[in-house]
Structure 1
Amino acid sequence: MALLSDFTSFADAQQHATSARLWDLFAGTREHFNIANEAILRHADGAGRAAVRVAHADGTNEILSFDVLASGAARFAHWLDANGVEKGERIAFMLEPSLPFYVCLFGAMLHGAISVPLFTLFGPDALRLRVEDCTPAILLTNAEKAPMACTIAGPRVVVADDALLETLEGYPGTYTPQTSGEDLACFQYTSGTTRELPEAVRHTHRSLVTLMFAALYGTGIRPGDEFFCPSSPAWGHGLWHGTLAPLGLGITTGTMGRGKFDAVRLMEALQEFGITNMSAAATHYRMMKNTGRSGDFTFAIRKLSYTGEPIDPATLDWIDATFGVDACSMYGTTEIGVVLVNYPGAKDFTVKPGSLGKPVPGLELQVQRPDGTPVEPGEVGELMLRRKSGWLSTKDRAKIDADGYFYHCGRADDVIISAGWTMSAVEIENTLLKHEDVRECAVIGAPDEKRGQVVKAFVISPRLPAESFVKELQDFTRTRLAQHEFPRIVEFVDELPKTPAGKVNRKVLRDREAAAATPA
């Protein structure tokens, strides 16, 4: 019988894609299933085939084979046994993509411990909150971060360097996992900002199976793809869609490694590795566009997807001109997974620019009014996902069109109400980004005594700030939207606050404005 990965069309996805058939993609069963075995060990055949390509900021590449990762993970699992780690204990690691990172990630899961990847730019407070929450037995990091990690009570801190890898060489290069599909495999901290400590989403080994709906229909990965995802594997997109999903199908993946992110370096990697399928954050595409250097490279891209936030129309135009393929949105959250996709590679699916696409096979989504009734096409409401217990709110606003495509209209708290007018921060941002002198921007509702809120835009531009430029941006916006839809306040900034996952953090901007408006 054909596997789901053999089908590429939208029609086949609707006809054949079921949860039961996802299991056919793997070797394990519900009773005996392990992510490390499915993603690494079963593809290690001694041929030295590349599993992960890491493009470091200094221009060097690190190519890691399935064989090397399989033996390294096994040795790390034996090392955990030798250090008294029990099944179900947490192993945290704060490392950049590299051999030690992947050895720790897969070795802990192979052992039956729980992998906890942590973002390498965490400061002491952010790290302490997560360590106190997940209480790891061991925290692995690099030599630079080790002194900070040692100030946190609880875990044993181990430097994951060449000395550790040399120690691991003394252990056997094979290990038999003893986990079921229901055993916990990974704790994933979200990059959200609504809580002091974002909640850890607890994933079982079976999560790799359900993930494949997003992989097949969100990123469109298929055997034969040369895949790349520049998002950090400390976050959901980089770990699950950029690492575990492609490796689970035996597909070589790639990512960015040590050093500050450089959009030119990303384009170099796309060219050098002959990447045919990339999934990235919206910010990555925007940063590549802003370099003005895309014409220096030759690309082999056949499929593109993005997530995190909508892409503005100007960047979508650049993607079309640069890669000549549709940019396919993939919408979801760490908590609920990917639920709306654009089926990259499906020739019978029309990608509508700016659309979130249509539901993953088997899911039902609806845009609803406050009273729970479904909206009419073009009407904005709250995006809801049907679960067994009823409708679950995504906390996002959306609309649908007459063809059943969904469109993102901002977070529920990104709606701006000024003097009775309701406006979308995202819509105003997209309009400002069409201006040739606007590189990045963020729009919020700033407190105003007369109007309740007024639209305020934070703008990054190569032009010098001036009142005439402010008026130019205001007129540019109001003539394209409506007379009342324009930023009454424009502040020019050098950078915008962003979440670790790369999304513009409007909450930080709103909090700043609220604090400034509060009397001392």
Structure 2
Amino acid sequence: MTKLTDYTSYADAQAHANSAALWELFDGDRETLNIANECMTRHADGSGRAAVRIAHADGSDEILSFDQIASGAAQFAHWLDANGIAPGERIAFMLEPSLPFYVCLFGAMQTGAISVPLFTLFGPDALRLRVDDCKPSILITNAEKADMASQIDGLRVVVADQGLLDDIAQYPSTYQPNTKASDLAVFQYTSGTTRELPEAVKHTHKSIVTLMFAALYGTGIRPGDEYFCPSSPAWGHGLWHGTLAPLALGVTTGTFAGKFDATRLMQALQDFKITNMSAAATHYRLMKNAGGADQFQFFFNKLSFTGEPIDPATLEFIDRYFKVPACSMYGTTEIGVVLVNFPGAEDFERKPGSLGKPIPGLKLEVHRPDGTPTEPEEVGELMLWKRDHWETTKDRAKVDADGYLYHCGRADDVIISAGWTMSAVEIEHTMLKHDNVQEVGVIGVPDEKRGQVVKAFVIANREGSDEFVKELQDFTRERLAQHEFPRIVEFVSELPKTPAGKVHRKKLRDAEAAKAAKV
């Protein structure tokens, strides 16, 4: 019988992608389902086939098999039972990709407990906020973070070392889960760009099924791919599109552990002969900035990216060295991926800069403030039809005459100066075309005369000067509009980033507000 994974064209996606066909990819049904079984246990056939390839920052590689992770996860599930952990309790873990990470992730879900992955670079305040919110029964982390975590009153901390693996080894290597499709499986914290404590998005076991449309048509993943996603599995893209989606299809996935290094990533892509990569826009930009891509051999036939649009200079780098179009996919942790460019579909035309079109079955529109749809090329707010009403994505967008959607920045990244409306993203992309600009973050800052003016924070490969500032200003206004350029330029050595790798404009705005308050 033909499955959705057998189809690769855009026409077939429109003709065959439906809920019934999606469920045929899984062992579970609408009543009984377990993510750990779908992603791991059912693929553990004793062959030793690779499940995860880990490129460590220190240059070493680690390959974990479905058999190895499945047996460890089952043992960990029995260990949780022996420790009195009941279904619905939260098990948090703050670990880099490793055998303990995957054992904990899938073992907790097998028991009906809820897995809560946490970013390894969280400091004490960020960790405490999330622990206070989700109230985990156990936090599993490495020895380096254990002392910090132990300062949180009432939190049981377990170190994920060889001792833990030896401890769980006494238990059986198989486990029979008993979860419903509607049971909670994962709490996923967003990257937190708008509030002190971002809300945990709560995913059920059934989420692995609803995710798969986005995986099939956003990353183009299919059995037979050699897949890689360098995003941290503590965040939505790295967990769902980098880990769970490929494993659910029995596809070997790859990931990065430790401090990110673009040259190390390119080495791994060559060594693992990766044919399909999904990454953040920043990962591609950092590979461009690192140089040396001509020293490696690449094997790509599908590429995708998320997080933010890719600037033209980085797209040129991808075309030159990877020789495969990079396909945007757009979504948020809260709503999932909703706009894709169908990697691998030869009959789908990709337009430069476009977010693509909705995944099969979804409806999106661009609306004016009064709720009416915009005309083609008119900028408005991107809305998703969900549960019989329109929900805002909090992003600005436009749609062209052919139905392709384009991102025009976050709603709070719009800069209005002397009545002119400008996009921080558009200004950033233009400035990145300058040969001496490596990274840039743009915000609006208060101005008595104009209300706001554009300020650009620039990382450059030459020394900052008044002459250089004027050069950047002229460069930008010549390519956009006479009013659309940074009136203030500050040269910096680094920019604040979200965990997903995007420029953290809110932190830039907050820092400017704090400086203004001191004046």
Q: TM-score range by the shorter chain?
A: over 0.9
Identify the residue that residue 214 of structure 1 maps to in structure 2: 214
Please list the CA deviations of residues 235-289 of structure 1 after superposition, one character each: whole Å capped at 9, or x if unmatched. 00000000000000000000001x3100000000000000000000000000000
Q: TM-score, normalised by structure 1?
A: 0.99
Amino acid of the structure 1 residue aligned with 2:224: G
Amino acid of the structure 2 residue aligned with 1:295: D
SS of equivalent residue, structure 1 residue 144 = helix
Report the CA distance between 1:505 and its aligned residue. 0.4
SS of equivalent residue, structure 2 residue 178 = coil
Identify the residue that residue 45 of structure 1 maps to in structure 2: 45
Measure, in 2, the Cα distance between the counterparts of 1:214 and 1:153. Answer: 40
Identify the residue that residue 344 of structure 2 maps to in structure 1: 345
Report the CA distance between 1:20 and its aligned residue. 2.0
2:424 counterpart of 1:425: yes
Q: Structure 2 matches for 1:176-325, cutoff 5 A?
A: 176-257=176-257, 259-325=258-324
Measure, in 2, the Cα distance between the counterparts of 1:155 and 1:347. Answer: 52
Please list the CA deviations of residues 92-120 of structure 1 after superposition, one character each: whole Å capped at 9, or x if unmatched. 00000000000000000011110000000
SS of equivalent residue, structure 2 residue 176 = coil
Identify the residue that residue 158 of structure 1 maps to in structure 2: 158
Q: Structure 2 matches for 1:68-79, cutoff 5 A?
A: 68-79=68-79
Q: Structure 2 matches for 1:349-360, cutoff 5 A?
A: 349-360=348-359
2:461 counterpart of 1:462: yes
Identify the residue that residue 509 of structure 2 maps to in structure 1: 510
Instruction: Single out whichever of 499-508 and 201-210 deviates more from structure 2.
Output: 499-508
Identify the residue that residue 97 of structure 1 maps to in structure 2: 97
Please list the CA deviations of residues 459-488 of structure 1 after superposition, one character each: whole Å capped at 9, or x if unmatched. 000100111000000000011111111110
2:148 counterpart of 1:148: yes
How many pairs were matched up? 519
Measure, in 1, the Cα distance between the counterparts of 2:518 and 2:286. Answer: 38
Answer yes or no: is the 8 Å Cα contact 1:447–1:517 preserved in 2.
no
Measure, in 2, the Cα distance between the counterparts of 1:36 and 1:19. Answer: 21
Amino acid of the structure 2 residue aligned with 1:301: F
Identify the residue that residue 435 of structure 1 maps to in structure 2: 434
2:491 counterpart of 1:492: yes
SS of equivalent residue, structure 1 residue 110 = helix
Measure, in 2, the Cα distance between the counterparts of 1:318 and 1:402. Answer: 29
Identify the residue that residue 3 of structure 1 maps to in structure 2: 3
Report the CA distance between 1:29 and its aligned residue. 1.1
Answer yes or no: is the 8 Å Cα contact 1:447–1:513 preserved in 2.
no
Answer yes or no: is the 8 Å Cα contact 1:135–1:154 preserved in 2.
no
Distance 1:519 1:55, change over 3 A: closer
Instruction: Single out whichever of 337-346 and 154-163 deviates more from structure 2.
Output: 154-163
Report the CA distance between 1:192 and its aligned residue. 2.3
Amino acid of the structure 1 residue aligned with 2:283: H
Measure, in 2, the Cα distance between the counterparts of 1:201 and 1:268. Answer: 34
Amino acid of the structure 1 residue aligned with 2:233: P
SS of equivalent residue, structure 1 residue 171 = coil
Measure, in 2, the Cα distance between the counterparts of 1:297 and 1:116. Answer: 37
Measure, in 2, the Cα distance between the counterparts of 1:422 and 1:157. Answer: 50
Measure, in 1, the Cα distance between the counterparts of 2:80 and 2:411. Answer: 45
Report the CA distance between 1:189 and its aligned residue. 0.3
Amino acid of the structure 1 residue aligned with 2:289: N
SS of equivalent residue, structure 1 residue 379 = coil
Measure, in 1, the Cα distance between the counterparts of 2:30 and 2:338. Answer: 23
Report the CA distance between 1:519 and its aligned residue. 5.5
Amino acid of the structure 2 residue aligned with 1:82: A
2:60 counterpart of 1:60: yes
Identify the residue that residue 21 of structure 2 maps to in structure 1: 21
Q: Structure 2 matches for 1:165-180, cutoff 5 A?
A: 165-180=165-180
Report the CA distance between 1:21 and its aligned residue. 1.4
Report the CA distance between 1:2 and its aligned residue. 1.0
Report the CA distance between 1:511 and its aligned residue. 1.3
Amino acid of the structure 1 residue aligned with 2:70: A
Measure, in 1, the Cα distance between the counterparts of 2:478 and 2:265. Answer: 37
Report the CA distance between 1:154 and its aligned residue. 2.5
Structure 1 runs of 4+ off > 6 angstroms? none
Identity %: 76
Identify the residue that residue 391 of structure 1 maps to in structure 2: 390
Measure, in 2, the Cα distance between the counterparts of 1:286 and 1:59. Answer: 21
Q: Give the superposed CA RMSD.
A: 0.8
For structure 2, the residue ranges without an aligned partner over 5 or more in a row are: none
Amino acid of the structure 2 residue aligned with 1:177: P
For structure 1, the residue ranges without an aligned partner over 5 or more in a row are: none
Identify the residue that residue 122 of structure 2 maps to in structure 1: 122
SS of equivalent residue, structure 2 residue 408 = strand
